[in-house]
Amino acid sequence: MLTVGRFSLTVMLFTLATCFGLGALIGKALGLNWKTSSLINAGTGICGGSAIAAIAPVIEADDMDIAYGMSATFLFDTVMIVVFPLLGRWLGLSDAAFGLWAGTAVNDTSSVVATGYAFSEAAGDFATMVKLTRTLAIIPAVLVFAAINLHLKKKESAQANGVKVSIRSIFPWFILAFLAMSLLTSLGLLPAGLVSGLKTISKFLMVAALAAIGLNTNFKSLCRSGAKPMLHGFIISTLVVLVAIGVEYMIGIAPYGTL
């Protein structure tokens, strides 16, 4: 597990830098607002819908921003589930190399699992472990975006009427609950039955939240914005795929390496 984490962190450093560095520049070049661009980048770089759902309230994104982020992320996830195993076999990747690639380049957790096991059982196991490591990036990402939003709000208030912005009012308090539950689960302090029940409730609430976003989304406005968000998602997803496999070749995992 430690070996998998070490190699996945190496690849993740490059993929996250690609998403949040080049992604921000691409979003700006396409004329997207920073919230839409940031959600697409976070969804692509970290954990799909979960990352978008975590970061959206922190940057005070509206339903349209969230809808664009979700649409771009889920669209390319669907494509990757089909294309990735074919590419992996064409490249002659080992189970470990493919699992690391899928775990760092495919967006949503369920899509990573589906993609990995479509290649092989061992690749699915590797991909799942890598994805669990990658998901932890939600924590620093939320805190960084909270700091960015605080800076922007202070700047806006100073330009408007000088009203001070309270850090307490915009701090992502839910992240403390996330850390607490992760710690309790990792230490085995919660009964297995309770953990299973909480996971079921969590999935239901996530689906309910996504349904609420859909019901509040103006699809006419969504279509009027054209293909720019989808183009942004396509470009950044393609770059992440290429960067991830490129780094694997550089560190000697691809094509035949083991972890």
Q: Which two tokens stand for residue 205?
A: 């609430």
pLDDT tens over the chain, length 259 residues? 555 667 888 999 999 999 999 999 999 999 999 999 999 999 999 988 889 988 998 898 988 888 888 888 888 888 898 899 999 999 999 999 999 999 999 988 888 988 999 999 999 999 988 988 898 899 899 889 988 888 887 777 666 565 565 666 666 676 777 778 778 887 788 888 888 888 788 777 766 766 665 565 556 655 666 688 989 999 999 999 999 999 999 998 887 767 6
Q: DSSP string spanning 87-115? A: HHHHHT--HHHHHHHHHHHS-SHHHHHHH
Structural domain boundaries in the chain: 2-155+164-251
Task: Assign residue 226 a region (left: φ > 0; alpha: ψ between -120 and 50; beta: otherwise).
Answer: left
Q: Which two tokens stand for residue 83?
A: 């294309």
**pTM for the structure as a whole:** 0.83
Distance CA 117, CA 204 (A): 25
CA dihedral sign, ordered 19, 24, 28, 29? negative
Q: Which two tokens stand for residue 226?
A: 């054209």
Spatial contact of 239 and 34, defined as CB atoms under 8 Å apart: no
